[in-house]
Amino acid sequence: MNAPDRYERFVVPEGVKKVSYERDTKIINAATFTIEREEHTIGNILRMQLHRDENVLFAGYKLPHPLQYKILLRIQTTSQSSPMQAYNQAINDLDKELDHLKNQFEGELAKHLRNL
Amino acid sequence: MEGVSYQRFPRIKIREVKDDYMKFELRDTDASIANALRRVMIAEVPTIAIDLVEIEVNSSVLNDEFISHRLGLIPLTSERAMSMRFSRDCDACDGDGQCEYCSVEFYLRVKCLSDQTLDVTSKDLLSSDHTVVPVDYSDASSGFDNSTNKGIIIVKLRRGQELRLRAIARKGIAKDHAKWSPAATVTFMYEPDIYINEDMMETLTLEEKRELVDSSPTKVFGIDPENKVIVVDAEAYTYDDEVLKKCEAMGKPGLIEIHAKEDSFIFTVETTGAVKASQLVLNAIEVLKQKLDAVRLSDDTVEADDQFGELGAHMRGG
């Protein structure tokens, strides 16, 4: 009866930012990114990609509640980098990886279909 | 953007492709990417499905909402879905979702006039767009018996009963409602790495070897003509640990070691027929890319932080 609309899970409401950024008040080079209307799909690949970055000291995400349609991604880096830089780098790397994956798949598919 | 790249270069090997089924290997990446692809294929690749039904006449035994629900679940060919608009962000029709850019119209008009029961099926649905029609399973590539194929039964009518309706199909994703899922099943497994300690295996009698081979519930191991235990089908292993327990029980721990390779995945993709299996994977990669793009930081966020950064540096006396 008072269930939220289904689209609430993936449509960002007007006036709400998709990604907001908040620096940690106590720890230098640490910040929390709040990503609206995303869940494990994005949270986990970002986290794992950030773990590959040597300058990232900590990267973790959480889905605070199943009915709060957002994830919190927390990053702490060394002074060589910054959470924002690490975050952008992770997205760029993942994006390139997916580009590569797409080309690989298309190539292999064409090869496979030729050999039939 | 400065900084070193930590990009990976995954490899793919396709094993089998059919229209609604495919199997492939994904290597040199981690479980997060494999799982993200799986999740996107199941719940976020768009398809087209009936979303609104206006019933004119329904004297069948099923009530209106029951029939509407059944109509929604019929898979429609959705090659167009990726380039179509969602009704909610369609400008042409102001979001009422009834224009050609974001919807497809269907009509169903059936009346039973004979004494024999009339099956109303997905083939009775008349589409306004020839690219969006109920999926036809009569193509024999899938293998099951199609000799009596009549489409998906919606309702059965007896003499005098009638069903007349108009339906609107829209683009959607399965996160909204499962009827929009293009995937029947998408699974991946870790490729097992099986090591047999040959020296230790030599100390076993043939009888013991047979027992060991038979201890696995799936046929992973076999015995070759030289009475050596060999791996017949590594992928049949279900990570049940039964052979390992057997080794322990025989007092030979370490006789067989099995590890899951953490960067190799074997994917199985089955679709509902709404899109081809190979296309589903490509669409999933595309959707994932779009999602990543959407979570990039906006310029004003960066700007706000730069000011804060200067202020911070100033306060710290820098």
Q: Which residues, numbered 242 to 281 in chain B, qualify as contacts with chain A under a Cβ-Cβ cut-off of 8 Å?
A: 278, 281
- Nearest-by-CA chain B residue for A49: B6
- Which residues of chain B lie closer than 8 angstroms to A111, CB-CB? 14
pLDDT < 50 regions, chain A: none
B263 shares its domain with B215: yes
Pairing of strands A70-77, B162-172: unpaired
Contact A44 B35 (CB under 8 A): yes
Q: Domain limits at B250?
A: 9-13+24-41+185-267
Q: Which of B245, B267, B289 finishes a domain?
A: B267
- The answer to whether B114 and B159 have CB atoms below 8 angstroms apart is yes
- Is B10's Cβ below 8 Å from some Cβ in A? yes
3-state DSSP call for residue A30? strand
- Is A101's Cβ below 8 Å from some Cβ in B? yes
- Is A51's Cβ below 8 Å from some Cβ in B? no
Q: Which of B267, B287, B305 finishes a domain?
A: B267
- What confidence tens digit (pLDDT) does each residue in B124-158 have? 999 999 999 999 887 655 555 555 667 999 999 99
Residue pairs spanning A and B at CB distance below 8 A: 136
Domains of chain A with bracketed CATH: 14-113 (3.30.1360.10)
- Count of H helices and E strands in chain B? 7, 12
- What confidence tens digit (pLDDT) does each residue in B87-120 have? 888 877 765 667 878 899 999 999 999 999 999 9
CATH number, residue B211: 3.30.1360.10
ipTM: 0.96
Predicted local distance difference test score (pLDDT) of residue B318: 40
Nearest beta carbon to residue A9 from set B175, B291, B294: B175
- CA B168 to CA B158: how far, in whole Å? 26
Contact A35 B8 (CB under 8 A): no
B170 shares its domain with B190: no
- CA B101 to CA B91: how far, in whole Å? 9
- What confidence tens digit (pLDDT) does each residue in B230-282 have? 999 999 999 999 999 999 999 999 999 999 999 999 999 999 999 999 999 99
